[in-house]
Structure 1
Amino acid sequence: MEPILWGCLIPSIYSAYTDATRRNLYDYVTIPIFLLGTAYSIYTGVWINHLLTALVVFVVFYFCALKGGFAGGDVKFCTALAVWFGYPSTLYFIGLASITAAIYGSCKLSKMGLFKQRIVVYFRGVYMKIAYGIKGAIPENKLPENDEICEEAIPFGPFMVFAAWLVYLTPMI
């Protein structure tokens, strides 16, 4: 059996479950995934690619979290997955996770009756920004500061796990 299965993908199933049910990605799962991935990438000699990829993912997701788009667990979990997958596979699973999450989120907003309203407001803001250069015209929905989770928020962890499994099972390159 390949180490990525036992060190990353199988433990990540538990993380997907906890994120979907409790909206929490626990450090006691994420940190061992990261440490095992780091050790394995050093052992196999691909540590420069994998650790640089993980660093870039951490920085990008950290700034997204500062803007209110992700929670800290998503940042750490995606970094842990990136240290196993390296470049370019990390781009594939992040892209695939983002697309599937956007489709799911659009369906969820549609079901709630909010999709049309959000799209109209968003594109009106884009128009105001492009046509008139108005700062702040594009609405930014942020996650709540407290532990409360809004009804429209979707957990990103299950989508990352789904995409990581898909990238592992169907190698792109």
Structure 2
Amino acid sequence: MGGLELIRAGNLAFVAGCLLPSVYIAYTDARSHMIYDRATFPILLAGLVNALHSDTLPDALLGSAFAFALLFICAALGGAGGGDVKYAAGLGMWFGFLNVQYVLLIATAMGVVWGMVKLAWAGRLKSWAKTFLTGLFMRVFYGVKGAIPLRKLPDNPGAPVPPEAVPFGTCLAVGSWVVFIAGW
């Protein structure tokens, strides 16, 4: 059953509690690289209420914990922000363990393509790829730690965002809509 049939089947709570706030998150993250708590916490809480109401609490908690843990690791390594972590946890609450994996996979693929396009437009894709692949070779075959150069997001929220940074919350929002419309 695709997304439009799900709406007709009375699943307006999913649209109102998860997907419409995701549009706001996609916009603000694309525009300012910020995901606000006023958008993520309602998604998380509405997902919890929905899971309690629909008797899917164990799956929702597992999905939320999985998405939170995965994005928390990315944030600890400097590749994601706190808003991404909280938003992913909220999506996990709505989508459950299996479907949030699809959301994360689609979002990651979109983020990689978006990042490559940004680097190509800046004329830095070739040099970045050469450096990255050389570092990967050194790490895999010679065990050299720190050989893969990856820029981190700034710790200070007021610091400028690196030009190659991709607003991952926007990618998560698109992934959630794709999974919803596909009916997975």
TM-score by shorter chain over 0.5: yes
CA distance in 2, matches of 1:153, 1:57: 20
1:18 aligned onto 2:28:
yes
1:168 aligned onto 2:180:
yes
1:64 aligned onto 2:58:
no
Q: Map residues 1-173 of structure 1 onto 2, 5 A cutoff.
A: 1-2=10-11, 3-146=13-156, 147=158, 148-172=160-184
* Cα RMSD for the two superposed structures: 1.0
Q: What is the deviation of 1:46?
A: 0.6
CA distance in 2, matches of 1:166, 1:149: 27
Q: What is the deviation of 1:130?
A: 2.2
CA distance in 1, matches of 2:120, 2:88: 28
3-state SS in 2 of match to 1:149: coil
| Equivalent residue pairs, number | 172
CA distance in 2, matches of 1:129, 1:15: 36
3-state SS in 2 of match to 1:123: helix
CA distance in 1, matches of 2:147, 2:139: 6
Residue 153 of structure 1 aligns to which amino acid in structure 2?
Answer: A
**TM-score of the superposed pair, with normalisation by structure 1:** 0.96
Unaligned runs of 5+ in 1: none
Q: Which moved more, 1:134-143 or 1:110-119?
A: 134-143
Would you identify which runs of 4 or more consecutive aligned residues in structure 1 move more than 3 Å?
none
**TM-score of the superposed pair, with normalisation by structure 2:** 0.90
% identity of equivalent residues: 35
Q: Which moved more, 1:21-30 or 1:124-133?
A: 124-133
Residue 66 of structure 1 aligns to which amino acid in structure 2?
Answer: A
CA deviations on 1:110-155 (whole Å, 9 max, x unpaired) are: 0101111111001101111222221111112211122221111110
